[in-house]
Amino acid sequence: MSRWSALHAYLHGGSAHTETVLREYVVPTTGELLDRGEISSWFFVRYWEGGPHLRWRVADATTATMRRLRDGLTEAVAALPPPAGELRPADWYARFGTAGTAGGAGGPDLGWHPHGTVLDQPYHPEVDRYGGPEAIGAAEELFAASSRVAATLLDATPARRRSTTVDLLFGFLAASGLTAPEVVRFLRGYANGWTLVPESHGQDLGLALIAAERDYHANPAAYAERRRLIDDIVTGRRGATTSVNFWADAVTGYAATLRALQGQGRLRGTVAGILASQLHMLHNRLGLSIPAECHLAWLVSFAYAEPSAYAGPAQPPDFHPDTLDAADRGYHERSKFVRARWPEQHPRPVEPVRADPGAPVGAATLALPEPTPGALGDASLAEVLLARRTRYDFGPDGLDAAELGRLLRYAAGETAPDRDAPSDGDAPSDGDAPSDGDAPSDGDDPPEGGGSRLLAYPSPGGLVTTRLVVLPRRVTGVPAALYRYLPERHGLQRVAADPGAARLARIAPQFAPPGTPPGTGDTGGNGEPGGPAGTGGPGGLDVEAVALWLFVVADLDRVRTRYGLRGYRFAAIETGHLAQNLLLAATAAGLSAAPVGGFYDDELNHLLLLDGLTSTTFYAIALARSVQPAAG
């Protein structure tokens, strides 16, 4: 194993200073050292703790070599023009949220080094982050590869750097061994994950998605073609001397090493998680900001999610086609149950789920109050059904935890303990045709093997393919944040911080920007763009008036595994059941509720940290206390 030494150069003049030092001293000096055999490897990384600085690491250098490198690096830094202005520690650390406030505001425990400081520092590898002690050597080899690739772009024009950065990501993915669906999940999980990192504090990462959609849809065929070209280069020209080939070859070997260790039970963490860390290290060396990383991840994910991209910017797909090969008609035909094909269409067995499969592990749960008898009021079911309206008369008063608990318990909660009774409804009576239970339209019979949760709404095969994401913004006793409702605990599990009114206002075309006077209206619609007053135009739904948001999410993988193409239809049915429960419970409680189905899908999914492929939002419901009681 190599013996690593490190030098840290503190540079307060931005990326221009960093890249000048790399280009004029670090990269050429490293090449000379390698040629003379004074070092066996090297890599660099940009870092922020203690002030912005460059970390230069070399392997197997002697003490004399390190002394000479430090002197040379000090001279190179001293030759830089002075920074444009003073960088104050408090201002710098404020950019990093809680990560920048260790020990108090301004991060005194993180230290601070003036511009031009060059230090010898020990190298402390992040062993666990990169798979454990048996994987760290391979990780360092890939650090060196990504450093070499980044060095080749130091003199490139901005346009070439942008295009090569896209190609490097395509090459990384082609070499990773991930399937196309895994790539989409990987990239969108990568982009979503930055929302949870303190270093992204104060950055609206939703704007990166909007920019990526704009760039991709300007010419989707170009990205689809680039993906195909890089795939061919990576698989057919291994060993070629281009930067993309060199990088992809290195990633291919690295991914194989990780999977071999995983197969032997000697890898800490997941292959995908470790690859994500390595991808970030490439982006760090290329000088990408967090928003730029997110933009790139979304951009390339579209090229995988839409493989049959249309021919160019002048030929966008018709969103309202009236043809037999329209996507919706084609899907409906292919997802039909057909007697002659029943043996191959028969639902496949899946394991029962006794708790929310997507619930984050280890997060604290906020218990909600259990409702008292008659808590939804004295109205009969008939009266509630007749009174249900889409209402936008949101009053200024908030809700309380008891009201939230009643709403969720009755509309989405468990109605009985788990049951362990096998179902015989999924076995065809004669092997050729379905019996009544074989193809449940929306029933809640448990899957083969039994053991399912009984909820207040039906679920196909008892799979429970929906979940509820809750955003209380004015609910007394419940801090504003994104939560997942856990029916089995009747509690809320925190997922992320409140995204804020500005981001909420962008998720649907009919929402009004913060500060816009809201319209009024009382409709039976579902908040489509261009709807009645209060749902579209300059007087759209005022997100700041909403006390509580409920997002109905479908987890599609399990229902797809069991029911194949039919699964998406079943998932849509189940989300409708849950949404109607919520609307009726809100009506009974005297709350105004406005369901919204016309939203920008990926923007809302990103806000909720969903990938839009495995899990996606089907419905959003805005609620608040009514200005006036609902009509009976």
**What ranges do the domains of the chain cover?**
1-124, 133-315, 334-365+380-415+445-625
Of the chain, the percentage scoring pLDDT greater than 70 comes to 83
Cα radius of gyration (the chain): 28
pLDDT of residue 350: 87
Beta strands in 11-65, from DSSP E residues, in sequence order: 41-47, 53-59
The rounded distance, in Å, linking the Cα atoms of 462 and 99 is 43
Work out the pLDDT band at 87, boundaries 50, 70, 90.
very high
Q: Are 517 and 529 in contact (CB under 8 A)?
A: no
The pLDDT confidence band at residue 531, using thresholds 50, 70 and 90, is very low
pLDDT at 109 over 80: no
Q: Where are the beta strands (DSSP E) in 236-368?
A: 365-367
Whole-number pLDDT of residue 530: 40
Q: Say if residue 323 is exposed, middle or buried (CB neighbours under 10 Å; 0-12, 13-18, 19+).
A: exposed
CA distances from 113 to 7, 117, 261, 283 (A): 14, 6, 40, 25
Instruction: Write down the pLDDT at residue 159.
Output: 95
Q: Rounded mean pLDDT of 570-586?
A: 97
Write down the pLDDT at residue 275: 98
pLDDT band of 195, cuts 50, 70, 90: very high
Locus of tokens 């000479």: 68
Region 30-59 average pLDDT = 97
Tokens coding 288 = 């990408």
The pLDDT value given to residue 383:
92
Q: Which residues contact 491 (CB under 8 A, 6 or more apart)?
A: 365, 366, 367, 368, 485
- Chain position carrying tokens 């949760």: 453
Residue 351: what pLDDT?
Answer: 78
- pLDDT higher than 60, residue 148: yes
**Residue for token pair 């032997």:** 264
Lowest mean pLDDT among 198-207, 237-246, 320-329: 237-246
Rounded distance, CA 35 to CA 40, Å? 9
Residues β-bridged to residue 43: 57
Q: Which of 11-15, 67-71, 485-489, 509-513 has the lowest mean pLDDT?
A: 509-513
Q: Of 365-369, 535-539, 561-565, which gets the smallest average pLDDT? A: 535-539
User: What's the CATH number for 1-124?
Assistant: 3.30.70
For residue 198, what pLDDT is reported?
85
- Cα–Cα distance between 241 and 248 in angstroms, integer? 11
Predicted confidence (pLDDT) at residue 312 exceeds the cutoff of 60: no
Q: Contact, 479 vs 511, CB < 8 A?
A: no
Q: What is the mean pLDDT of the chain?
A: 87
Predicted pLDDT at 541:
87
Q: Percentage of residues in the chain with pLDDT exceeding 90? A: 72
Beta bridge pairs of residue 467: 553
Residue 557 has pLDDT above 90, yes or no: yes
Q: What is the mean pLDDT of the segment spanning 278-283? A: 98
235 compared with 449, residue with greater pLDDT: 235
CATH architecture of 334-365+380-415+445-625: 3-Layer(aba) Sandwich (3.40)
The pLDDT of residue 125 is above 80: yes
pLDDT at 314 over 70: no
For residue 605, which of 530, 566, 560, 552 has the smallest C-alpha distance?
Answer: 552
> Rounded to whole angstroms, how far apart are CA atoms 494 and 470?
9
Per-residue pLDDT band at 398 (split at 50, 70, 90): very high
Residue with tokens 């003049």, as numbered in its chain: 13
pLDDT at 241: 78
Instruction: Give the pLDDT band of residue 1 (cuts 50, 70, 90).
Output: low
Q: Is 244 helix (H, G, I), strand (E, B) or coil?
A: helix
Q: Are 244 and 236 in contact (CB under 8 A)?
A: no
Is 104 within 8 Å of 36 (Cβ atoms)?
A: no
| Rounded Cα distance, 83 and 598, in Å | 49
Range 531-554 average pLDDT: 74
- 3-state SS class at 82: coil
Q: Which residues contact 419 (CB under 8 A, 6 or more apart)?
A: 446, 450, 451, 452, 454
Cα–Cα distance measured from residue 295 to residue 211, given in angstroms and rounded to the nearest whole number: 7
- Would residue 111 be called left, alpha or beta, if left means φ above 0 and alpha means ψ between -120 and 50 degrees? left
Token pair, residue 120, equals: 């010898």
In sign, the C-alpha dihedral spanning 314, 317, 319, 320 is positive
C-alpha dist (Å) from residue 452 to 15, 55, 462, 486, 488: 55, 53, 6, 15, 12
Q: Say if residue 518's pLDDT is above 60.
A: no
Tokens for 66, please give them. 């390190």
Could you tell me the two tokens for 112? 């601070």
Query: Do the beta carbons of residue 139 and residue 269 sit within 8 Å?
Result: no
Burial of 558 (0-12, 13-18, 19+ CB in 10 A): buried
- Asked if pLDDT for residue 427 goes beyond 80, the answer is no
Give dist(CA 404, CA 509) in Å, integer.
27
